[in-house]
A and B are shown apart, each in its own frame.
Chain A
Amino acid sequence: MTAPTTEAEDAPAASWASVRGGAGDRIFSGAALLAGLSILAALAGVFIFLAIKGVTGFTKPAEVYGPHAESFVGYVVPLLVGTFTASIIALIIAVPLAFGIALVISHYAPRWIAAPVAYVIDLLAAVPSVVYGLWGAFYLAKKLVPMHQWLHDHLGPIPVIGHLFGEPSPAGRTLLTAGIVLAIMILPIITAITREVFSRTPRLHEEAALALGATRWEMVRMTVFPYARSGMVSAVMLGLGRALGETMAVTMVLSVGFDLSWNVLATSSPTSIAANIALKYKERSADLLNVLVATGLVLFLLTFLVNFLARWIVGRSERRMAR
């Protein structure tokens, strides 16, 4: 007990009352509470701003959304598809790679290799996104043209998923390229977080598995992954958040089109919401600005939804074990 909770009728004798830390504890808990609340306040503020500024953007006259769309839905859906396609490509590439790197650093590599590798990966996060954009647009895109062709040749004929690999772009400035650039950008954050949670696996659990005759990989599957699962989801969510919101790299890499298309190799594709805002911001009319904010609101809500969904899925299996 740190301090008497109420002004009791007979207060405890002086020597039993809290001697030190009373004020300090209260200040600290107050500061912590304030920090926590300020995040909620900031989120609420963002939401309120977006809602007030954006609400009129949902119902503008058709010409505001033109020339490629007539309504807000027609305007935002291609952008959403572009946003999520690029982000999902980025996650598909970055997540296995990041988990693998994190595992090597935390459990496989000798320390003299692990430390420098971890450092270099962290450095990737320090490169400004404009640099990734330049590199992706002017170097990587051309280099990836043969890969586009190969994907089209080999995966294009397959039913259903073949739609994703339609006629390839000769320039390579496609959603796929944008996704790959995004993958490199989100790699460090996913790696850093998963590395940290992997290395926190209790030694006791690891030894339990090893003593049963588990190989190192079996030990990782039995103890490290279950222990780290929640952290792994957090890492992926942070990576996804960064990919969804990334502006410069996508703006620079992707050659923008407006037609809704599932072809990730297409010559032009709908851009992402964030990139679209960056592109249109300068030529804004007051009406278009409202529309742009409305698209931002949609992205905000969808990111929230994805995050809650992922948390709920993880929480469900943990709640089951906690019973």
Chain B
Amino acid sequence: MAKSIDVSDVNIYYGDFLAVQGVNMTVRAGAVTAFIGPSGCGKSTFLRSLNRMHEVIPGARVEGKIVVDGQDLYEPGVDPVAVRRQVGMVFQRPNPFPTMSIYDNVLAGLKLNAGKLKKNAADEVVEKSLRGANLWNEVKDRLNKPGMGLSGGQQQRLCIARAIAVEPQILLMDEPCSALDPISTSAIEDLIHELKNDYTIVIVTHNMQQAARVSDDTGFFNLKATGEPGHLVEFNPTKKMFANPDDPATEAYISGRFG
């Protein structure tokens, strides 16, 4: 069910402001692709354009082609709601639904798609998704407690369980560990390794070690200059990127020397 993403000539706007310019890349199926780059370079913006979440902001729009499974996501007539059911997303800060129990949080997306589920089918999905997110053993005795009662790392894994419960083709993660402690971060990174067997994963991270640890491919975004749009500087296998990057700017960023 993992699918590749072909991105060609994508420009992303906030109103009249061009935020990201001319991105071309191919995200491989069943691999982990990481985006790195300084704050404000448009990597999160680009990530959000992959499941049409970018346009939720008033005035925001995307030009160019993003093709998943032979279908351009931005073709007229494509419903963004349908896109988001295929391309799941995990956010920077854990955001379980505060009024729902752990159980209902996992099923939230599925209920939208399938309506009422039979009790035992629902139980099965909840267990499978929570096991998939490495959370089952910690919460199996309190599934009916609110999701907000969990620790930050557990909440984030709950959000991952919620995203994979609808069995998307692609999973986007926007700095999923930046609000977590190192132990929770390590748990999520282990999880990413397991998840890539079933999903194409795209992750934005500020942590270079994390990109090096979890990803197969890495894209480096940067601003050409202050006030200029962000762009994709280099896109290569992670091993090459961190050992022998093509672009001197990439090397400067990775080794901690900017500009």
Total contacts A-B at CB 8 Å: 67
A208-B159, A226-B98 known; A214 and B93 CB under 8 Å? no
The answer on a CB contact under 8 Å between A323 and B145 is yes
Contacts of A215 in B (CB 8 A): 81
Instruction: Fill in one digit per residue for B93-119: 1 if any A CB lies within 8 Å of its CB, else 0.
Output: 101111101000000110011000000
Binding site secondary structure of chain A: helix
Q: Which residue of B lies closest to A320 (CB)?
A: B146
Whether B99 contacts A213 by the Cβ 8 Å rule is no
> Across the two chains, which residue of chain B brings its CB closest to A215?
B81
Describe B's contact surface by its main secondary structure: mixed
A222-B108 contact given A111-B58, A205-B97, A210-B56, CB 8 Å threshold: yes
Is A13 an interface position by the 8 A CB rule? no
Find the residue from A111, A202, A213, A226 having the highest chain B CB count within 10 A: A213
Interface size classification for chain B: 20 to 34
Q: Are A207 and B95 in contact (CB under 8 A)?
A: yes
What is the distance, in angstroms, from A110's C-beta to the closest C-beta of chain B? 8
In the assembled complex, the Cα of A226 lies from the Cα of B108 at a distance in Å of 14
A218, B97: Cα distance in complex, Å: 13
Chain A residues in 8 Å Cβ range of B88: 211-212
A321 touches which of B51, B85, B89, B99 (Cβ 8 Å): B99
For residue A47, CB closer than 8 A to chain B, the reply is: no
A selection of 19 A-B contacts at a CB cut-off of 8 Å is A111-B58, A202-B95, A204-B91, A204-B95, A205-B95, A205-B97, A207-B91, A209-B97, A210-B53, A210-B56, A212-B84, A213-B81, A213-B85, A213-B112, A218-B112, A223-B97, A321-B98, A321-B99, A323-B146
Taking Cβ atoms with an 8 Å cutoff, the residues of B that contact A are 51, 53, 56, 58, 81-82, 84-85, 88-89, 91, 93, 95-99, 101, 108-109, 112-113, 145-146, 159, 162-163, 166
List the interface of chain A (C-beta within 8 A of B).
Answer: 110-111, 202, 204-205, 207-215, 218, 222-223, 226-227, 321-323
